[in-house]
Structure 1
Amino acid sequence: MNRAFAVMTALICLLFASAGFADQPTPWQVDLQTPVTPIMHEIKWFNYYTLWFIVPITILVLILLVVVAMKFRASKNPVPSRTSHNTMIEIVWTVGPVLILFFIAIPSFNMLNAQLTIPTNPDLTIKATATQWLWSYEYEGGENPLSFDSYILKDEDRAAAGKEDLGAYPRLLAVDNELVVPVNKTVRLLVTAAPTDVIHAFAMPAFGLKIDAVPGRLNETWFKAEKEGMYYGQCSELCGKDHAYMPIAIRVVSEEQYDTWATSAQGDLSGANRALMALAAQPADAVRVAATESK
């Protein structure tokens, strides 16, 4: 019975296996991207939380406008009221906004504090340097720190890179060399721009991450990706004529895959990236576990 169930599970996973989770903008998207970091979970919660204030206020203002327009129009009130003020109204529209701002400010400050407080002893430190119009990454630590450049992937280079699947590697968002990080590990990110360059911004929506890259200044942030997959962002500071062609791609993998990639990338970055792509195209871990149990 268990063996039959394991085989059936493996077949189902094989049938529906895909190239892996990839979060990116979608047509007519009105909601935030799926959160995959603790900070982004808080941001999405705060987004819905503020709607409980915004929607009622908007409806109230609309109702008041309609009432005023209908009840106090010139045809119905040819002689306007000469009331100068109303004490109760003054109290309500002073105390009300103060209370609303109080309930919004507390979780807002808590979230801001979580974003700006860098966890002690991060598992990995990466420096991202912006230049017109690419990102350069350097993995800090070790005797031979790994570093490479990340350019936008041109359409004519897709076949050679093995990235012809527009679903997994979308146009204007895919890059030649992705930033690779391990899942469930705290990554400290140092962001700057080349000394003679302009201001850029490192933004990854699914991570709740957005920080300026300023020449001559080192800004610091962090993230902890909770789900494996490919995630896309862009430079979010107008930085020149090719601002729209400066994407950011982060591939989140298991710790074992990351260790293998980091070792291989020292000598052959392209080969190491291709190996990760091949693993991403394979069925999920559940398939391998089920296949093992069926033996």
Structure 2
Amino acid sequence: MPQVVFSISAGGVDVTENIRGVLMSMTITDSEGLEADTLNLVIDDVDGSVEPPTRGVILNPRGGYAGAIRDFGQFSVDSVGYTGWPQQITVSAQSLAAKELAKQREPKSFPKKDFPTFGDVFRAVAGAVSLPVVIAARIAQVPNHFEAQAEESAMEFLTRIGETLNASVTIKSGRIVVMEKGSGIGAGGSVLQTINIRRPGNLLSYSVGEKDEPRYSQVETTTYDRAKNERKSVIATTGLEGPTFRIRAPFQTEDDAKRAAQAKTKELVRAQAEASFTIDGDAFAQAEAFADVRGVRSRVDGLWKVKTATHNFSGSATYTTELQCEVPSP
């Protein structure tokens, strides 16, 4: 097994050697959507001599194996706790960029004349908190008729409009990344590396649950033309068996209705099962990637989409990665 290595800086200063002998665990969770990525440290402080980071300090963890190190990004310390006995220090931090986006709550409207596409909307919101943005071309070109950020944070606003576009809106490497949900595309616009899970091989444990969620054969949305007083139906199929799922509120245009229907069909398929896989540590496993499982059993083997990847570094155990997964979109 390759040598596990890690380092961590606080406020731009490398503090790895200060905590190497007392760090009990370092857990980094890479999440999908705009849920903030998190960093949690547990430090052994038997004699009370360890100087912990203060709230607001920026931590930058790096880890993996010799020759294959990943920079996990910048995290702002939220809380520091002390317990005994034995004495321990716990440090919780979250993605710096996510915190900035969550604080932005200024109501704003985005009319078509000033923001003709959703790319313009995303760029405006990102610019308000000085974050760069990467947007898939298809999503950036979708026409915007009218949107408004009301009594909600910028994070909540972007999550809401992302759902209507079947878009995954995440914060990675200090950037807002807007990609087609389930596309397996990363922050740089390149395809994320598939995580190969094998038994025998790197799989340590797994749990898969098929959920008794309602199955729908199709989704129906509608448009309403006020001038003609006409209502028109738009249908998208799921590939499953069952009744029709109806979205009651009408949409302004047929294109809007189609996008909403297609997004809902994908959501209904993803809800049919969930899985958790614990594997030998893989520093480059991340949310939105696909996991290819082989050698386990029927109804488990196959392709899954990763929702969260949790990296567990420990001073007393091996490095492991836990993957929470769902059924890929059709």
Query: Could you tell me the TM-score, scaled by structure 1's length?
Result: 0.23
TM-score, normalization by structure 2: 0.22
Q: Choose between structure 1 and 2: higher helix proportion.
A: 1
Higher relative contact order (CA 8 A, sep 6+): 1
Q: Which has the larger radius of gyration?
A: 1
